[in-house]
Amino acid sequence: MQNLILLGFLGSLGAGLATGVGALPVLLVRRPSKRYLDLMLGFAAGVMLAATAFSLLIPAIEDGGVWVAVGGLLLGALVLHLIDRFVPHEHFIRGREGPSSRLRKIWLFVLAITIHNFPEGLAVGVGFGSGAIGPAIALAVGIGLQNMPEGLAVALPLAGEGYSRGRALLYATLTGLVEPLGGLLGVSLVMIARPILPWGLAFAAGAMLFVISDEIIPESHRNGHERLATFGVMIGFAVMMLLDVLLG
């Protein structure tokens, strides 16, 4: 039990740190093209879509049945909707969302990234809590891959707001460190109460699917590169599907 909890924490920690790895180009280049960023955001969405289907929903159905999977999926989406609606947060590109707040812009931004990243860490933790180590590793690797372009998408607006490149890299890395908290929570809950495993898998899937549809895909289509972003989705989906099969 303790080994699985440790693995869940370490897997989600590695996935979270990939955010900082992806942000490293902020130290070397002024600003990648919007075409490149939209392609990478599409790739991230594709990885998350495949992870939602193959690593979370299918195991949830196999372990708990289709109605548990449906219930957990909708519950995860509802919780993310309520958090997104009532917790003040701000996206640097799209502007403020949620209720107004007197918090500094950087903390509103950190809250937004926390909302975004926590379900991913939760998914990795629940995956390891299931005891299926191969698929859980594939899920952690996939989440790490999709975190890399997101790390750059975080660091670049920070640099554009006047933060030094080093601070932009630091903040981008720190936003990924909410994932091991979600991972520790997810793996601990399913280890303590094994019957909630299918609910946890489906809940994480619903939360991730909400983020994909509500945030990542619309953002990747905002600059007129819809077809390029769509190819990014297809490539990301295929990469995650391969990871799930090869490591599963």
Domain boundary assignment for the chain: 2-27+35-247
What pairs with residue 90 in β-bridges? 96
pTM listed for this prediction: 0.77
In tens digits, the chain (248 residues) has pLDDT values of 567 788 888 888 888 888 888 888 878 766 667 787 788 888 888 888 998 898 889 988 988 899 999 999 999 899 888 877 776 555 544 444 544 444 455 556 666 666 777 888 888 888 888 777 888 888 888 888 878 877 877 787 677 667 788 888 888 888 888 888 888 888 888 777 777 888 888 988 898 898 888 878 888 888 888 899 999 999 989 988 888 888 76
| Alpha carbon distances (Å) from 33 to 158, 160, 171 | 16, 14, 22
Contact 129, 4 (CB under 8 A): yes
